[in-house]
Amino acid sequence: MKLFVTLIGLMMVMEGLPYFAFPEKMKTFLAEIQKIPPAGLRWIGFFLMCLGLTLCYMAQRTGLFS
């Protein structure tokens, strides 16, 4: 549970960093995202989830990052 809470906290830091560092550019970026159709956003989300799972697997099982 300690690792899970740590990972959630780290995720929140990573999510908040662009808004803190580049608030004007984030507003522009979010306006552009609204132009992308829902199916496109779904594919982007699916790809990022698969990439994240692959990175987690590689880090835990293969020792590639150690």
Report the amino acid identity of residue 58: M
Number of neighbours of residue 42 by Cβ within 10 angstroms = 11
Residue 49 to residue 45: CA distance in whole angstroms? 6
pLDDT score recorded for residue 37 = 97
Averaged confidence pLDDT in the chain: 92
Task: Locate the domains of the chain by residue range.
Answer: 1-35, 37-66
Higher pLDDT, residue 65 or 35 = 35
* Strand boundaries in 1-66, DSSP class E: none
pLDDT tens digits, 49-62: 999 999 888 888 88
Give residue 33's Cα distance to chain centre: 15
pLDDT score recorded for residue 13 = 96
- Asked if the model's pLDDT at residue 65 lies above 80, the reply is no
Confidence band for 2, pLDDT divided at 50, 70 and 90:
confident
Q: What is the pTM of this model?
A: 0.71
